[in-house]
């Protein structure tokens, strides 16, 4: 059975959708929806990459990643549609929520000091 064709957003629409969907830190470059995350180091980078990989696999929609000791670059595009679709925006939202999650102040979950991931461009 053929999959339904998804709307491919124009560059202007992508920029508008980034803002409308509250995807702070995400941007359009060279036809990709992109985001850079800065980590506390190699261990945090690997944990985040595995988390992103799990989300992508669960969504059956895979990101292109570039990693270094303390940085992760995420690129999203719906390859079989030749551009950015709702799949990319929805996966970006999930990645953002998971990677930047921190325990609430005063809650039962303390968190590890200085091991959080920061967004950046």
pLDDT above 80 (res 112) = no
Burial 10-29 (b: 16+ CB within 10 A, else e): eeeebeebbeeeebebbebe
Does any domain span residue 99?
yes
Assess whether pLDDT exceeds 90 at residue 106: no
| Structural domain includes residue 5 | no
Q: Which residue has the higher pLDDT, 121 or 28?
A: 28
Whether residue 33 lies inside any domain: the answer is yes
Domains identified in the chain, total number: 1
Place of tokens 């506390």: 40
pLDDT of residue 45: 95
Domain CATH number, residue 76: 3.30.1360.20
- CA-CA-CA-CA dihedral for 121, 61, 50, 73, to nearest 10: -20
Host domain of residue 77: 11-103+116-120
pTM over 0.85? The answer is yes
26 lies in some domain:
yes
C-alpha–C-alpha distance, residues 39 and 74, integer Å: 13
Task: Look at the alpha carbons of 80, 21, 90, 46 in this order and tell me if their dihedral is positive or negative.
Answer: positive
The residues near 88 (Cβ < 8 Å, ≥ 6 apart) are: 33, 61, 76, 77, 78
**Could you tell me if residue 71 is inside a domain?**
yes
pLDDT tens figures, 17-76? 999 999 999 999 999 999 999 999 999 999 999 999 999 999 999 999 999 999 999 999
- Tokens describing residue 32: 């990709």
């Amino acid at each position: 059975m053929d999959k339904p064709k998804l709307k491919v957003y124009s560059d202007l629409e992508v920029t508008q959708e980034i803002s409308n969907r509250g995807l702070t830190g995400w941007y359009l470059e060279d036809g990709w929806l992109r985001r850079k995350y800065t980590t506390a180091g190699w261990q945090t980078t690997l944990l985040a990459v595995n988390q992103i990989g799990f989300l992508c696999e669960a969504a059956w929609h895979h990101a292109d990643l570039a990693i270094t000791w303390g940085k992760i670059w995420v690129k999203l595009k719906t390859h079989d549609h030749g551009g950015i679709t709702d799949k990319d925006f929805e996966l970006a939202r999930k990645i953002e929520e998971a990677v930047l999650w921190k325990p609430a102040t005063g809650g039962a979950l303390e968190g590890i000091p200085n091991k959080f991931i920061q967004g950046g461009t």
